[in-house]
A and B are shown apart, each in its own frame.
Chain A
Amino acid sequence: GAGVSQTPSNKVTEKGKYVELRCDPISGHTALYWYRQSLGQGPEFLIYFQGTGAADDSGLPNDRFFAVRPEGSVSTLKIQRTERGDSAVYLCASSLTGTDTQYFGPGTRLTVL
C-alpha cells in the first residue's frame, strides 16, 4: 500500500511569513509524529498525535509552531512568523499504534530566506 506522503516536497518562504506543511499517514495508522532535521543532524522529535489529539507536543520549539490532525488522519504543521532558524527538513512518520514501528515520509525541505 501507499506509504507516508508529505507535501510540498520543498517550500521556500520569506522571513515573517506563515507556512503549512501537510502529512498523509499510512491508512489505518492511529499514531502520527513530526520530527525536524537540521543540516548535519539527526531528526528531533516535535509532536506526537494519537488519533485526533496531540498526546505530546513537548518538542515544539515555541508557540509559533502548531500542529493539527482534526479527523485522525491527515496532519498539518503550521509555522507562524517564520525565522531563518526554522529552515530544516520536516519529517512526518506514522505507526499503527504508539508502540509500533514508525514509517517515515520523504520530508518537506523548508527554506526561510
Chain B
Amino acid sequence: KQEVTQIPAALSVPEGENLVLNCSFTDSAIYNLQWFRQDPGKGLTSLLLIQSSQREQTSGRLNASLDKSSGRSTLYIAASQPGDSATYLCAVRPNDYKLSFGAGTTVTVRA
C-alpha cells in the first residue's frame, strides 16, 4: 500500500521568505504526483501536476520537483506572501485512478 508522508506538519515563516515543503512516498511506481492547496473549509485546488517522466514543473512562484527513484517531491514557493497561508497536500497516483494523499503541511506566512 502506498504511504505518503509530508514533513513538516506545520510551518510558520515571515513574509518574503522562500518555502520548502517535502513529500515522500513508499512505492516509486507512480503515474504522476500532484500538489494541492486547501484553504480552511474549502475543497482542493490543484497547483502543479508532475508526470512520472518529468523532473519538475513550474508555475509562477511555484516549482515542484520529483525524484521518483528516491520517492521524494519538493514544492518550493518563492517570496512567500500572507495569501500563501493554507494547507498544502501532496498526492501520488499509481497506475490507476486512486490518489493517495499525505496529511499535508499547514503554512502560515506572517506579515
Contact = CB atoms under 8 A, between A and B. Distances in A.
A43 interface: yes
B29 to A, nearest CB: 15
Interface in A18-60: 31, 33, 35, 40-45, 48, 55-56, 59
B97 A40 contact: no
Given A42-B4, A42-B89, A42-B104, A102 B99 contact: yes
Contacts, number: 52
B44 A98 contact: no
Interface string B2-39: 00100000000000000000000000000100101000
B41 interface: yes
Contact of A48 (B4, B31, B97, B102): B97
